[in-house]
Amino acid sequence: MNLELKSIKYTEWMSEETLCFTANLWVDGKVFAEVSNQGHGGCTDVRPHSKFKLDSTMPFYRVLKEVEAHCNAMPNLEPCALFGEGLPMDLELWCNMEVEAFLARRDMKRKLKSHVLFQIDGKDGIYQTKYHPRKTDGSWTVFGSEKRRILNDMSEVDALAIWRAN
């Protein structure tokens, strides 16, 4: 089963305890549901999308149960102090993680348009400048007395992994 969140709309000023968003959930390439969260700490709502074809052979809630079962079968998140076995995945958590990934990608792409982002070997964090010294392949390169790698010169997938880790 292939799940995708599309048409994500995020409202930062309404996000209090949870992310405030609306999005369309697509299942196997077809629009299925509208998911939303009001941002006040409540659950994520799932409603049939207006373009979802309701019929007697595959009613909405039967498909929703299959989607939830698919999410429940996904591996747990990394173990932590509160969840020694890792937090179990479900549809709501999956949606929130997809929105967070969307926001991280959007923020990184905005910053890459106006700045050069780089890491310094041996130091934590991502640094920025407006000056781009020369084109690199995204690997560690010596600049003066330190080694740096420039996120702008990396593939989007690699740069996003570094961006999200910092």
Given the structure tokens 């905005």, which residue do they identify? 110
Residue 55 has pLDDT above 70, yes or no: no
Reduced to 3 states, what is the DSSP secondary structure of residue 124? Answer: coil
pTM comes to: 0.84
User: What's the token pair of residue 101?
Assistant: 């990934």
Given the structure tokens 């990394």, which residue do they identify? 78
Beta strand residue intervals within the chain, DSSP E: 3-10, 20-27, 30-38, 45-48, 116-120, 127-129, 141-143, 146-150
Span 50-67, mean pLDDT?
81
CA angle 132, 133, 137 (to 5 degrees): 90
pLDDT in tens, 73-91: 999 998 888 888 889 999 9
Contact in structure between 152 and 131 (CB atoms under 8 Å)? no
> If you ran DSSP here, which 8-state letter would residue 16 be given?
S
Span 28-48, mean pLDDT?
92
pLDDT in tens, 151-163: 999 999 999 999 9
pLDDT band at 57 (very low <50, low <70, confident <90, very high): low
Contact in structure between 109 and 116 (CB atoms under 8 Å)? no
pLDDT band at 52 (very low <50, low <70, confident <90, very high): confident
Residue 54 has pLDDT above 70, yes or no: no
Span 96-104, mean pLDDT?
95
pLDDT band at 143 (very low <50, low <70, confident <90, very high): confident
